[in-house]
Amino acid sequence: MDTPITIKDAAAALRAGTITSVELTHIHLDKIEALNPTLGSFITTMPEIALAEAAETDALLAKGVDLGPLQGIPMAAKDIIATKTAPTTANSVVLDPKWGEGYDAAVVEKLRVAGAVFVGKTVLSEFANGAPDPDKPFPMPQNPWDLPRTAAGSSSGTGIAIASGLVLGGLGTDTGGSTRGPSSVNGGTGMKQTFGRVSKFGCVPLGYSLDGINPMARTAYDCALMLNVMAGYDPRDPCTVDVPVPDYTATLTGDVKGMRIGLTMGYFLENPALDVDTKNAILAAVKVLEGMSAIISEVEVPYAAESRDANQIIMWSEASAYHRPDLDTRYDDYGKYTAQQLARGMVFSGADYVQAQRFRSYFKQEMTKLFDTVDVLAMPTSIGPAPMREAMTPERRLNEPSFTAPWNLAGLPAMALPVGFTTGALPLPLSMQLVGAAFNEAPVFQVGDAYQRVTDFHLRVPTYAQMVAATV
């Protein structure tokens, strides 16, 4: 049989007895061994531990003990999230080697209880910010569709691993777009849930009031399966909110009839920086949904550009506060791009931070009003396909519009999913972003899943992974 490439299909195969978790884990470890030296997706793998965990899940299934659809599924964790089976580096020589030692982050705890098998820790932008520095002793992430292009950040390694089939599911984090960006340019699906829905306990912070730990997978359905397990109140994280967690797969029937989808114009689809292929792909995707009887209307997101700026002020202020002691004494130990970014946060005053937070409250109120008129917003995830790495200068990153940061500021759920490829000789993935109201992720999953039931962009395998797969 063909190896399943989604969590949903792998779960069915495990229960049908056509594959075991040990076999599935072996397959993915072999792929990592073959592709990782080039793709730079993993910092650490733990094959012996993973295979032992896989054998335990197989034994439980053989006894009729079913822990749920994540049982026996190979996964990866971004290496800023604590795991008791491997060290946490945050992709930095600055972090104390003993940070996170001996315990699992809350999300890892929950996924292990559900039977997930962690095969390794993935590469990221140092401390989830900046850009990869080739002078530091960590793998350089490569885009599997075209190696000289960026894999985006900061959850680069998990994005590469999902798209290339190195794992079936993985964990990213997102403060301004760090789950959705890598999902966008690598061709995967990534869901930033509502702020406060998932515990951040056991994760090195970037921006305390913006961070989230998120599911990344090939499909919206798979992300929903993961969030079902990850979500919930945790007293160890004071940001979590004690609200009921629905079964996110309950409404995933392919039906979007009557759902109100707002096509975001202005700052988003009419932005002069937006790539033409991306715009056309978004419009085509919305047409597909309209053909499925969704109700489409054009809407404007008020103060979208200002929301991007406010998110930056808050993120860099909070990041520089966390790193201040090490910046004072170990500035040169940081990667050059990370040091620049963190130092930028010191330029902002307390008044700047307060004003950004005041704007944040107003923007959230405006979004509440907007979601009285629509169920889901649709827009681009990125301004275009993955650019060449050499073009991703700090100046460019600072000046580009962001279609993801507003939703961190508002704390709203936002999903990136593939909607097509560029029209040039080399196909590069294009991505749409779906945004929902606070603590209402279900419609976002519903629209994303319905779209993926009638398209196959999310199932395509990157060019480099295709070539190497023939030799594995």
In a domain, 448, yes or no: yes
pLDDT for the residue 391: 84
SS (H, E, C) 245-305: CCCCCCCCCCCCCCCEEEEECCCCCCCCCCCHHHHHHHHHHHHHHHHCCCEEEEECCCCHH
pLDDT at 2: 83
With respect to residue 374, please indicate whether it lies within any of the assigned structural domains.
Answer: yes
Host H or E run for residue 172 = strand 169-173
Q: What's residue 472's pLDDT?
A: 55
178 carries an active-site annotation: yes
Would residue 192 show up in a list of annotated catalytic residues for this protein?
A: no
Longest dimension (CA), the chain: 61
Round to whole Å and give the CA distance between 458 and 463: 14
Considering 92, 178, 184, 320, which one is annotated as catalytic? Answer: 178
Domain total of the chain: 1
* Per-residue pLDDT tens digits of the chain, which is 472 residues long: 589 999 999 999 999 999 999 999 999 999 999 999 999 999 999 999 999 999 999 999 999 999 999 999 999 999 999 999 999 999 999 999 999 999 999 999 999 999 999 999 999 999 999 888 899 999 999 999 999 999 999 999 999 999 999 999 999 999 999 999 999 999 999 999 999 999 999 999 999 999 999 999 999 999 999 999 999 999 999 999 999 999 999 999 999 999 999 999 999 999 999 999 999 999 999 999 999 999 999 999 999 999 999 999 999 999 999 999 999 999 999 999 999 999 999 999 999 999 999 999 999 999 999 999 999 999 999 999 999 998 887 778 778 999 999 999 999 999 999 999 999 888 999 999 999 999 999 999 999 999 999 999 999 999 776 656 555 5
Residue 78 annotated among the catalytic residues of the structure: yes
| Integer angstrom CA distances of residue 90 from 94, 336, 398, 409 | 9, 15, 22, 23
218 located within any domain = yes
- Is residue 1, in this structure, part of any structural domain at all? no
Backbone phi, psi, residue 379, to 5°: -165, 175
- 57 is a domain residue: yes
In a domain, 238, yes or no: yes
Give pTM, 2 decimals.
0.97
The 8-class DSSP code of residue 81 comes to: B
pLDDT of residue 467: 58
- The pLDDT, as a whole number, for residue 469 is 59
Which SS3 state, helix, strand or coil, does residue 98 take? coil
Q: Are β-strands 429-435 and 213-217 bridged in parallel, bridged antiparallel, or unpaired?
A: unpaired
> Is 428:387 a contact under the CB 8 Å cutoff?
no
In a domain, 2, yes or no: no
Give the active site residue among 154, 307, 317, 431.
Answer: 154
Of 8, 31, 78, 121, the catalytic one is: 78
Which residue segment(s) compose the domain that 240 sits in? 7-469
What is the reported pLDDT for 199?
98
Q: Has residue 165 been placed in a domain?
A: yes
Q: What is the CATH number of the domain that holds 419?
A: 3.90.1300.10
The sign of the torsion formed by the CA atoms of 291, 295, 297, 299 equals negative
Alpha helical stretches, state H, 63-118: 106-113
First to last CA, the chain: 16
